[in-house]
Amino acid sequence: MGKVEVRLQRPLTYIIDTNKQELMGYAFQILSLFAANSGANSEMYQKLMQALIKDSTNWDKDNKYLIPSLTDFVITMICKYTDFTKQFSGDLINLCKHLMSQAIRMEGEGLKIASAMLERMGMFDPAFVKDIFFAIFSSLHFYRNNTKGKVIPTAIMREVLVFFATFVINFGIQDLINVCNQIQ
């Protein structure tokens, strides 16, 4: 651990433990940076990742403003400590589906996590991939047909394109076509 990380560990832990909502997003952004630059997966990061993934209330609509920071931390852990996060693959799959659900409508964040999972962990569950593709097309259909401007938000479209590109790079265009054909 670096000196700054050691110095800030207690205040950041205090912010999270005492649920200081106004500072929580900043705390997770800083922890994401520390985790990304850390030489080893510390026990604190492991416990924090487990607590985030296992407690679904962290990802509820009430915490919508926190979800981008939480997503950054989860993606950092997936990318930096892939072997550790593989044990949470089922929970991460459920998290992606939850974020892309109509109740939450955080498709961009769900797709970021799904892209990181596909890139780092591979295509481990064909049903997951099919569910994510179905959620993508359902979201695109919703925004195109049920919004005032009938326009798909740029942020969501960007993440959809990144997800498709990640999928094609890792698995090939034929697998993309096959998954899309299964959904029809």
Closest by CA to 42, choosing from 2, 90, 87, is: 2
What's the CA gap between 97 and 70, in Å, rounded?
Answer: 16
What pLDDT, on a 0 to 100 scale, did the predictor assign at position 177?
Answer: 93
* pLDDT (0 to 100) of residue 124: 66
pLDDT at site 57? 85
pLDDT of amino acid 168: 93
The pTM score is: 0.88
Delimit the domains of the chain by residue range.
3-183
